[in-house]
Chains A and B, each alone.
Chain A
Amino acid sequence: MTDDELLIEQVASAYRPVPRDELRYHPHWYDLDGAGRERAFARARALRALEAALDPDGLSTTARAVLARITGRR
């Protein structure tokens, strides 16, 4: 895997630092150029559909991350 592929795979995850005063991006998002960011968006879109299909409630890791923030678990 190229360095860019490794970065895209990480940025495509639902992990994001919890916001404080302002939104916090994935640290490696800044390391990608425009094309890499587009790929990360497309990869995330594909992964979320896969995750939702594997989840008993049909939730992606994005939705699970949001629920964790709502319920104070994050």
Chain B
Amino acid sequence: MDLDVHLAAIVAGDTRAFGSWMAGAEPRVRDSLRSFAQVIDVEAVLQETLLRTWQVAPRLIDDGRPDGLVRMAIRIGRNLAVSELRRTRAAPADGDELDAALGAGDAPASAPDPMLRKAITECRDKLPGKPRQALDARLASAGGQDDSDLASALHMTLNTFLQNFTRARQLIADCLGKRGVAIDQELGA
């Protein structure tokens, strides 16, 4: 699906449309920054990239190819990552990797699999109390609070909170594995 279907609404200031665009675009923009993972905080750069994409979307010039806004976001992310490299004086990433990352923007967006969503939800619903609390706290905070604050709110130490969160993702990974669902190995690590 061409994510530019959301572009007119985004330009009109519709944040829900931008959310729908991010649901498809975020993994691709994140993956385009993979080669920088050792030298910059990709999560911080990614969030700033997505914010700037929202701000400059009205300036996008249609080149007739699909996913113009995704390709623009990948360029914004790359430029921001390079600026961060200069600021932090870290070793630059390999140029070929950068070009490959930019090319990744041409990959089609995959729609969320409803069956996978259902399986994940059912596995989440089987979590025991404390791990479920830790997972729910992370989801509810949506990146707005650090883990120390989330732990305090749940009357847990930071270590206990992190152990419960780790257990939650590992249990979900185990549950999905038993259902024959292929998962990212890092989820169960």
Contacts and interface: CB of A to CB of B under 8 A. Distances in A.
Interface of A: 1, 5-6, 9-16, 19, 22-26, 29, 34, 37-55, 57-71, 74
B165 to A, nearest CB: 6
Contact of B84 (A5, A9, A23, A52): A23
Interface string B12-33: 0001101110110011001100
Contact of B50 (A37, A40, A66, A74): A66
A14 B143 contact: yes
B22 A16 contact: no
Given A29-B44, A63-B23, A67-B18, 18 more contacts: A13-B138, A19-B48, A34-B38, A41-B42, A44-B30, A44-B42, A45-B27, A46-B169, A46-B184, A48-B26, A50-B187, A53-B120, A54-B121, A59-B22, A61-B141, A64-B142, A65-B144, A71-B15
Nearest to B42: A41
Contacts of B45: 23
Interface residues of B, number: 57
B116 interface: yes
B79 interface: no
Contacts of A50: 120, 169, 172, 187
B144 A66 contact: no
Contact of A41 (B20, B34, B141): B34
A61 B48 contact: no
B143 A13 contact: yes
23 contacts: A12-B43, A22-B87, A23-B48, A23-B84, A26-B41, A41-B42, A44-B30, A45-B30, A48-B26, A48-B30, A51-B139, A53-B117, A54-B139, A59-B23, A61-B138, A61-B142, A63-B50, A66-B54, A67-B15, A67-B18, A67-B19, A70-B18, A70-B51
